[in-house]
Amino acid sequence: MPRFAPFSVVAVAGGLVAILAGCTADDPTPLPTATSSTTSAAGGRLTIQYLADDGFTGLAFVEEGGAVLGKTRAGQTTCTLEPAAYTALVEAAATITKQDQALPTAGAGDGATVPTLGNDVGAVAVLDPRVVGVADTVNQLVADIAAPAASRQVCT
C-alpha cells in the first residue's frame, strides 16, 4: 500500500484536524487503525505528537497495555511503557474531548517543543491544565523514542 510522507494539516468534517502527507513508495509495515470516535481513552490508542529539532513531526502511538510505536525521521522504535507511566497517561487522556484539537508547537528556548497528548477523539498540549501532570512522562517518552534502548527511562 502506498505510504505518505511530508505532513500537511487540514480541517475535515466535524471540525476535526487531520494530518495528510504526500505519497511515497510501497511500505509493507501495517498502518495503524483508528477506533471509533466514541471510544474512551481507557480502551483506545493514545497519540503523542511532537516537533523534532530538525522540523520533523514525530509520532508515538501508545496501545492499550502500554506498547509504544514511535516514528521519527530516523525510523521506527518500539518499546513498552512502565505500567505507572501508562496508567498516568490513560487517566490524563480521559479528560480530552472531541472539542480539543491541539497541534504540537514550538516552545520557549532553542529546540524546545510543546508536544500534544491525544486519545481517539481529540488532543491537547501537554501544558493544558488537565494533562500537565503527565508532561514530564510525555517528554521522557519522546526522548526515549529517539534514544538507544540502553538509555531509555520510561519506555524499555
- Whether pLDDT at 5 is above 90: no
Mean pLDDT of the chain: 78
Q: Are 97 and 86 in contact (CB under 8 A)?
A: no
Rounded CA-CA distance 153/123 in Å is: 24
- Whether pLDDT at 2 is above 50: no
pLDDT tens for each residue of 128-146: 999 999 999 999 999 999 8
Predicted confidence band at 113 (pLDDT cuts at 50, 70, 90)? confident
Instruction: Name the pairing type of β-strands 123-125 and 116-118.
Output: antiparallel
The per-residue pLDDT for 67 is: 96
Rounded CA-CA distance 38/148 in Å is: 36
Q: Counting beta carbons within 10 angstroms of the beta carbon of residue 60, is it exposed (0 to 12), middle (13 to 18) or buried (19 or more)?
A: buried
Side-chain-side CA neighbours of 21 within 13 Å: the count stands at 11
Task: Return the CA Rg of the chain.
Answer: 15
pLDDT tens for each residue of 30-52: 555 444 333 343 458 999 999 87
Mean pLDDT of 71-86: 92
Place of cell 517528554: 139
Predicted confidence band at 3 (pLDDT cuts at 50, 70, 90)? very low
- Whether pLDDT at 18 is above 80: no
Mean pLDDT of 87-100: 94
pTM, 2 dp: 0.69
